Amino acid sequence: MNTGDFDLKSYLSAKRALIDRALDRWLPAATGFSAPVKEAMRYSVGAGGKRIRPILILAGGQAVRANEHHLLPAACAMECLHTYSLIHDDLPAMDNDDLRRGKPTCHRIFGEALAILAGDALLTLAFELMTRPELTSGIHPERINRAVFVLAKAAGENGMVGGQAADILNEGKTVEPQVLNYIHYHKTAALLGASVEIGAILGGGHEEDIIRLRRYGQTLGLAFQIKDDILDIEGDQEIIGKPIGSDERQKKVTYPSVFGIETAKAKALELLREAISLLDPFDHEAEPLRAIARYVIDRKR
């Protein structure tokens, strides 16, 4: 299972370009009487994310030999949904962040009301893109329904929103490891797991493949979140694009704050190995997923 010669950098930049072109085509033009809200949507989606979640949809689909055309609307939907969550998390009533990826946050540019609405519109657009007739012809409708369900479940009160709520409710508190695990799993891992799973569903994967790929994504998601928390302590502010140490200042519950940084690093590595071993039954079409797992741990931002 040696995968050392896969060129991840080229893969990521090709997929990012594909996703960015599709997003630009499918996001609404900033015209008409509600133009500023559409401008706010485009501003935040365009603010230079890593596009990890949509790429995981493409890579998850590739592992089961999907038609990439069938994955692109869902990939863009996932990025819209992720962007909505960042816009709302940054609001004054939530994390009150002024910077995101080195740029002013949505509400700093457009005001709170339009930022709330831009987030709402992006969340809604996610489900529109998943089902828009021009984009989804040729995909089995059962697969689309299932993918919509997986997305909604991973994003809602039993997924990402539940994690964000638990995070806010526990700020400044000393928490049990089980609360920390709940927050990490729900805030990040649920949606990363859903990304890989949606790729596998839309790509027509067998049931056991879908389950394995979901578990790979969830495991990767936990590693991803721990790595984020480590970067917030040890990362380079210039590279990350936001101030270091914000978790500590906001008294966020993080893996390093509960277990210490060395244990956090060991845990991230252990999860990485587990994620990669879940891919054992898959052939070379799962190379992108293997390489992404390593990248998640090695990344500097």
Looking only at residues 103 through 142 of this chain, which bind a second copy when binding is defined by CB under 8 A? 111-114, 116-117, 119-121, 123-125, 127-128, 130-133, 136, 140-142
Of residues 10-29, those binding a second copy (CB under 8 A): 28
| Identity of the residue, 59 or 148, whose beta carbon is nearer to a second copy in the bound complex | 148
Residue 12 or 222: the one with the smaller Cβ distance to a second copy is 222
Residue type, 283: D
By beta-carbon proximity to a second copy, the closer residue of 38 and 265 is 38
Closer to a second copy by Cβ: residue 11 or 110: 110
* Contacts for 203-210: CB closer than 8 Å, 24+ residues apart: 203/60, 203/61, 203/62, 203/63, 203/64, 203/65, 203/66, 203/67, 203/70, 203/71, 204/64, 204/66, 204/140, 204/143, 205/63, 205/64, 205/66, 206/64, 209/63, 209/64, 209/281, 209/282
Residues in binding contact with a second copy, number by CB under 8 A: 60
C-beta of 249 vs 300, nearer to a second copy: 249
> Taking a C-beta distance cutoff of 8 angstroms, is the pair 59, 292 a contact?
yes
**Rounded to whole angstroms, how far apart are CA atoms 164 and 216?**
22
Least distance (Å) from a second copy to the CB of residue 251?
Answer: 15
Q: Minimal distance in Å, beta carbon 37 to a second copy?
A: 4
How far is the C-alpha of 43 from the C-alpha of 252, rounded, in Å?
Answer: 27
| One-letter amino acid of 176 | E
Structure tokens at 106: 């949505």
CB of 146 to a second copy, least distance (A): 7
Provide the CB-side half-sphere exposure for 99 (13 A, CA).
Answer: 11
Q: How far apart are CA 191 and CA 78, in angstroms?
A: 9
Give the contacts of 6 (CB within 8 A, at least 6 positions apart).
Answer: 287, 288, 290, 291
Per CB under 8 A, contacts with a second copy among 252-281 are: none
Residues 257 and 237: their CA atoms lie apart, in Å, by: 19
Which one of 153-161, 228-236, 260-268, 279-287 is the stretch in contact with a second copy (CB under 8 A)? Answer: 153-161
**Coil/strand/helix, residue 103:** strand
Q: Which of 211, 162, 212 is nearest to 188 (CA)?
A: 162
248 binds a second copy (CB under 8 A): no
Q: Which is nearer to a second copy, 129 or 293 (CB)?
A: 129
Give me the least distance between CB of 298 and a second copy, in Å please: 31
CB of 114 to a second copy, least distance (A): 7
Q: Which is nearer to a second copy, 91 or 99 (CB)?
A: 91
- Which residues make Cβ contacts (< 8 Å) with residue 176, sequence separation at least 6? none
Q: Which is nearer to a second copy, 55 or 123 (CB)?
A: 123
CB of 246 vs a second copy, minimal distance in Å: 17
Residues 178-207 that bind a second copy (CB under 8 A): 179, 182-183, 186
Residues that bind a second copy (CB under 8 A): 28, 32-34, 36-38, 41, 84, 88, 91, 93-94, 111-114, 116-117, 119-121, 123-125, 127-128, 130-133, 136, 140-142, 144-146, 148-149, 151-153, 155-158, 161-166, 168-170, 179, 182-183, 186
